[in-house]
Amino acid sequence: MRLECCNYNTETTVWAHISIGFNSGMGMKPVDIFGVFACSDCHDALDGRSPVKVGYDDKLRALIESQNRLIKAGLVSCA
């Protein structure tokens, strides 16, 4: 996600789900396509476990960049 808290450690990078209220709930995650590559610190910020604020613009940028990486790797296709 490359937030201000990013540790840039690829060993801690995971697929982090993006929640914006209407697409998830208590104990529910959004579908996997609505996720981003995030280091452990960015993931904590995204999930609200950090004081770092994550805006919609951060989430949208990370979503587009992550999906572009999946497309280039041949893991996701677009018709």
Instruction: Indicate if the pLDDT at residue 17 is higher than 90.
Output: yes
For residue 15, give every residue at least 6 positions away whose Cβ sits within 8 Å of its Cβ, in sequence order, or none: 32, 35, 36, 37, 38
pLDDT digits (tens, 9 = 90+) for 23-79: 666 677 788 889 999 999 999 999 999 999 999 999 999 999 999 999 999 999 987
pLDDT at position 43: 97
pLDDT greater than 90 at residue 22: no
pLDDT for position 78: 85
30 versus 13: which is more confidently predicted? 13
Rg (Cα) of the chain, in Å, rounded?
12
Q: What is the per-residue pLDDT for 30?
A: 82
